[in-house]
Structure 1
């Protein structure tokens, strides 16, 4: 299961940690692939990583949270804060 599919299954601390470990592994794989075959400077890194520094990662995640009311505007339930935080982390990867 890829990271975005794992995100859909986050419901508690255990599934959140599975997701977080997979996201970390996805980033490590992206870094390794970029060392072998660098992506264009005008697009995302391997595995779709738009934000490759901690600063840009956090800026993307925060921008997503502000723009989407922490996902509520996109249909995330505030009754599942584990999934909201997982989405926050995932959007650190992809949100510009």
Structure 2
């Protein structure tokens, strides 16, 4: 019985919270400010010198491209076409003769 009461209470709270958020009207500058704050917060752990020095970023090293291509090519299944593509053949319609 306790689980039913807890489940009902959580569901009721979630529905009420959803209705409250649905009725909330926020102006556009608040959305923009929140987006900027979210971008700053998500990038705060990255060092600031990676923007000015792209060599420190985690990209594939250009010298290792051929090695990466070889590893990718080995991991892919062989691609073979097992049928021949031919142009369609059109049959002429003949008028019925009486």
Shorter-chain TM band = under 0.3
| Structure number having the greater helix percentage | 1
Q: Of the two, which has the highest radius of gyration?
A: 2
TM-score with structure 1 length normalisation? 0.22
User: Which has the bigger relative contact order, CA under 8 A and spacing at least 6?
Assistant: 1
